[in-house]
Amino acid sequence: MQVLDGKALAETIKEELRQEVDQIRLAGGKIPHLAAVLVGADPASEVYVRNKVQSCEQVGFQSTLIRRGSETTQEEVLEIVRRLNDDPDVDGFIVQLPLPKHIDEDTVNLAIRPEKDVDGFTPVNIGRMTLGLPAYLPATPNGIMTMLERYGIETEGKEVVVLGRSNIVGTPMSILLSRKGNPGNATVTLCHSRTQDMAAHTRRADILIAAIGIPEMVTAELVKPGAVVIDVGINRVEDASRSRGFRLCGDVDYASLEPIVSAMTPVPGGVGPMTVVSLLMNTLKASKGRLS
Ligand code: GUN
């Protein structure tokens, strides 16, 4: 089995980005600047945002982290969004999700200017992506597309099954892989919590993408021998034997699939680092003032 090493690939792409930033600096151009808004104290979000800021430093981007406590009001978050929308020095920004329950994520998302929406979550960018127009593509599905491309995994005419229909992973993933292009041109089935006989679908998949948020749900019985498996899940499972009291695992039962699949992403070190790289690539695009 081939391990699809997202960590190593992300490092390679970050090195390419770093060189491009060096060129921009030498030419006296604008250094890309990403801002991240983190509200509350969700432990996973803290880790993700820290990774994003550190990755910016690694490639030479400027970054700004705006942190607010969980008591912050929706109006205060909207005020931060408006300020970032209007700040000419900030090329793109993200509001880390989930937000505290008293803040409506849709309202905040709709306030983000599409030109600065480097997460690709706003209706304009999702619409542009769906039409095949230049757009900021959502980071996780785009990271998976980059991985498929760089590893030379053929998608044309293949049966792809996506598990999970979230707005930020499953749904855009199904759109990107069914579009014309390479990667693309796949026949895509989108399974979700109301799917009947999920195994009947997954066993037909040449490429299986699990983004359902259930720890180690995808076991060997659900997978066709020789399939390529992409695990998007990052689940914290209680484990008293670990110093942190939990272990991280994906939506895929890695050990049971290892003997039968042809290629698979590990967790951690698979899709996660590619997601961060996609965000950096979108930020570079934003700093060049181009949606493409
Ligand atoms: N929470 C989980 N994934 C993401 C992401 O890609 N972007 C943001 N802003 N929040 C998230």
Predicted pLDDT of residue 132: 94
Range(s) of the domain holding residue 98:
28-113
Closest atom of ligand 1 relative to the 94 alpha carbon: 9
**Which CATH number belongs to the domain containing residue 266 in this structure?**
3.40.50.720
Predicted pLDDT of residue 291: 65
Clarify whether residues 91 and 195 are in a common domain: no
Among all chains, which residue has been given the structure tokens 């408006």?
82
Clarify whether residues 262 and 163 are in a common domain: yes
Tens of pLDDT along 188-245?
A: 999 999 999 999 999 999 999 999 999 999 999 999 999 999 999 999 999 999 999 9
Clarify whether residues 105 and 144 are in a common domain: no
What average pLDDT score do residues 86-113 get?
A: 98
pLDDT band at 289 (very low <50, low <70, confident <90, very high): confident
Clarify whether residues 109 and 145 are in a common domain: no
Clarify whether residues 101 and 157 are in a common domain: no
Q: How far is the CA of 121 from the centre of ligand 1 (A)?
A: 9
**Which CATH number belongs to the domain containing residue 36 in this structure?**
3.40.50.10860
Clarify whether residues 261 and 143 are in a common domain: yes
Clarify whether residues 170 and 229 are in a common domain: yes
Residue 283 within a domain? no
Model-level pTM?
A: 0.95
Share of residues in the chain with pLDDT > 70 (%): 99
Predicted pLDDT of residue 292: 45
Predicted pLDDT of residue 90: 98
| DSSP-assigned letter for residue 31 | P
Q: How far is the CA of 7 from the centre of ligand 1 (A)?
A: 18
Say which of 91, 119, 251, 253 is annotated catalytic.
119
Closest atom of ligand 1 relative to the 140 alpha carbon: 6
Distance CA 189, CA 199 (A): 12
Tens of pLDDT along 141-173?
A: 999 999 999 999 999 999 999 999 999 999 999
What separation in angstroms does the CA of 163 have from each of 12, 189, 235?
29, 9, 15
Residue 96 within a domain? yes
